Amino acid sequence: MPDNSPDYVRHLLPFLEPTPGEDEPYFAAIGKFIASYATAEAQVHLLARKLTRLSDAKGRIVFSGMRLGDLAERIRGLLRIANASSKKTTEIDECLRQLDLIATQRNNLVHRFVNYKEKKIVVTNVVTSKTVEDAELHTFTITDFENMDSDCTAITVRLAVYAPAGGKPTKLTKALRAWVYAPWRYKPPRPVQKPKQRPSIPQSQQPPHPASRE
């Protein structure tokens, strides 16, 4: 590699080694999760239209192109003015919060550099960050994708109780209900914080040593 190559190229090279066949299950897991997320996002749109009681045509005009975060705030506002029960409000809010958390990871996967390395998916914004030093690096296992996929499916079913796509909510078996309403499976890793370095004090500004007692 030429010595004048950009720093980000040097950063990416370790992740570009060929892994024929080994990475296929990981990228398959990503694709399945992305599809499941899109279904959950569509269910949020159905819920918003249901709460406004608008026709399909009017609902499309009002909510077309609206981002998930903005859509979630509209839904919370609609629940407030409708004096929805605390149970309904809490249930919907929990689903929206978890989907918003998962949306952050989904956005990283579709807008940043993604590759496979040592049984993990590596995601970084080193190409677009202000400096190489400011770049973020995230890793995902297949279990992470499976958990996000499961949560998106659960969110879709739980929100469909209040806005069923076909007009009538799907009846859940006891086992399926237990799975759908289980605690959220995906929990993002805690951010790694770099320890803050104390600024060095010039010698001229350092306090004098206390006089020794003899």
Beta-carbon contacts of 128 under 8 Å, excluding residues fewer than 6 positions away, are 112
Residue 204's pLDDT is what?
54
Strands (E), the chain: 113-116, 121-124, 137-140
Residue 1 lies in a domain: no
Residue 211 lies in a domain: no
Residue 119 lies in domain: 24-186
Residue 132's pLDDT is what?
78
Gap between the Cα atoms of 62 and 121, Å rounded: 37
Residue 200 lies in a domain: no
In the chain, how many domains are there? Answer: 1
User: Among 187, 12, 194, 192, which residue's Cα sits nearest to residue 104?
Assistant: 187
Residue 202 lies in a domain: no
Residue 44 lies in a domain: yes
Residue 52 lies in a domain: yes
Q: Tens place of pLDDT for every residue, the chain, 214 residues?
A: 445 455 666 566 655 666 667 889 999 999 999 999 999 999 999 999 889 887 778 878 778 777 888 899 999 999 999 898 999 999 999 999 999 999 999 999 999 889 888 889 988 887 777 887 778 888 899 999 999 999 999 999 999 999 887 667 778 899 999 999 999 999 987 654 444 455 555 555 555 555 544 4
The answer to whether 47 and 162 are in contact (CB under 8 A) is yes
Residue 192 lies in a domain: no
Residue 201 lies in a domain: no
Token pair for residue 51?
Answer: 């709460």
Residue 192's pLDDT is what?
47
Give this prediction's pTM: 0.78
